[in-house]
């Protein structure tokens, strides 16, 4: 947390108020969360109001929180001999055919899909991250922001292609990176890591063909020492807790 990020977070809270579901100030970066219904209004305010001036949309990316917080492998120590690959497949996309019969119940993560907008203010020389969760996991729909930032066109197409997030109001929501006739969305956590099909050249047919993937699935364990928890402050929850404490004191 820095003085400038704290100041920006307080400005956002004062100006946008009830439109915000969360304001996170972490590592000197501010992230705000809004509902799909408030997205276009908040985006317009962030672009047009002189206090913010976020005239540039740098990127739009999708996020799938299906396996968020689940670890197959975690450690706080290092070793010179390496680590075992014998881990339990705990996250989506990991050898599900082997483990699905052993699982009694699969807990669902609330608010699975989200779109994240990276904003830049040239006049203020600062950035902001805007996050919106889709209310329906089975059919994730979020309003398109092309009317606010026209650079969102291909960014939203990419998020649709890779995550299956639908952007309501997009004039040409087609796949952008995957092949014609591609089935599924490859960045979703439940999409197989090795894919479903592969493309090869068939010498007999003298053309490129699709066939079931021949890669043997396996679990790879990265040799990464994860750092400690990062401090993050949610000003919306902080303000609500302070108000509740004040009400309790007055009641006494």
10-residue stretch averages of pLDDT, the chain, 252 residues long: 85 91 90 96 96 96 87 60 55 49 45 96 94 96 97 97 97 92 90 86 92 77 60 79 83 76
- Residue recorded with tokens 């950035």: 127
Predicted local confidence at residue 222, as pLDDT: 58
**DSSP for residue 1:** -
* Dihedral sign of CA atoms 86, 92, 96, 100 in order: positive
Residue 159 in contact with residue 167, Cβ under 8 Å? yes
What's 12's DSSP letter?
A: H
Res 98: pLDDT: 42
Q: Please state, in angstroms and rounded to a whole number, the distance separating the CA atoms of residues 47 and 126.
A: 13
Cβ atoms of 208 and 201 closer than 8 Å: yes
For the chain, how long is the longest CA-to-CA vector?
86
The total of other beta-carbon atoms located within 10 Å of residue 135's CB is 14
pLDDT reported for residue 239: 79
Residues whose CB falls within 8 Å of the CB of residue 47, separated by 6 or more in sequence, listed in order: 53, 54, 55, 148, 149
Instruction: Using the CB atoms, write b or e for 61-80: b if 16+ within 10 Å.
Output: bbbbebbeeeeebeeeeeee
Grouping H, G, I as helix, E, B as strand and the rest as coil, residue 208 is: strand
61-to-37, 147, 158 alpha-carbon distances in Å: 19, 18, 8
Closest CA to 64 of 168, 193, 162: 162
State which fold the 3-244 domain adopts. Answer: Beta Polymerase; domain 2 (3.30.460)
β-strands 29-34, 126-133 pairing? parallel
Length of the chain: 252
Q: Where are the domains of the chain?
A: 3-244
| Alpha-carbon dihedral 54, 58, 61, 65, rounded to 10 degrees | -50
Strand order in the sheet with 126-133: 56-64, 113-121, 126-133, 29-34, 20-26, 232-234
Three-class SS state of 107: coil
What's the confidence (pLDDT) of residue 99? Answer: 44
pTM, two decimals, is 0.77
């Amino acid at each position: 947390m820095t003085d400038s990020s704290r100041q920006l977070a307080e400005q956002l809270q004062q100006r946008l108020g009830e439109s915000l579901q969360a304001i996170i100030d972490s590592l000197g970066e501010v992230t705000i969360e809004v509902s799909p219904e408030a997205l276009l209004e908040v985006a317009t305010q962030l672009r047009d109001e002189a206090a913010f001036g976020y005239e540039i949309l740098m990127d739009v990316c999708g996020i799938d929180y299906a396996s968020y917080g689940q670890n197959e492998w975690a450690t706080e120590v290092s070793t010179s001999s390496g680590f075992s690959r014998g881990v339990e497949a705990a996250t989506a996309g990991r050898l599900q055919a082997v483990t699905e019969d052993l699982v009694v119940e699969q807990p669902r993560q609330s608010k699975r899909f989200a779109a994240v907008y990276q904003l830049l203010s040239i006049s203020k020389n600062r950035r902001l991250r805007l996050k919106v969760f889709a209310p329906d996991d089975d059919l994730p729909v979020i309003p398109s922001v092309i009317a606010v930032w026209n650079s969102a066109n291909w960014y939203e197409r990419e998020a649709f292609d890779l995550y299956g997030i639908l952007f309501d109001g997009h004039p040409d929501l087609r796949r952008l990176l995957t092949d014609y006739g591609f089935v599924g969305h490859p960045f979703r956590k439940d999409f197989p890591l090795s894919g479903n099909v592969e493309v090869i050249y068939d010498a007999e047919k003298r053309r490129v063909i699709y066939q079931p993937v021949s890669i043997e699935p396996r679990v790879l364990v990265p040799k990464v020492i994860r750092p400690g928890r990062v401090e993050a402050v949610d000003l919306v929850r902080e303000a609500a807790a302070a108000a509740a404490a004040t009400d309790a004191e007055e009641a006494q």
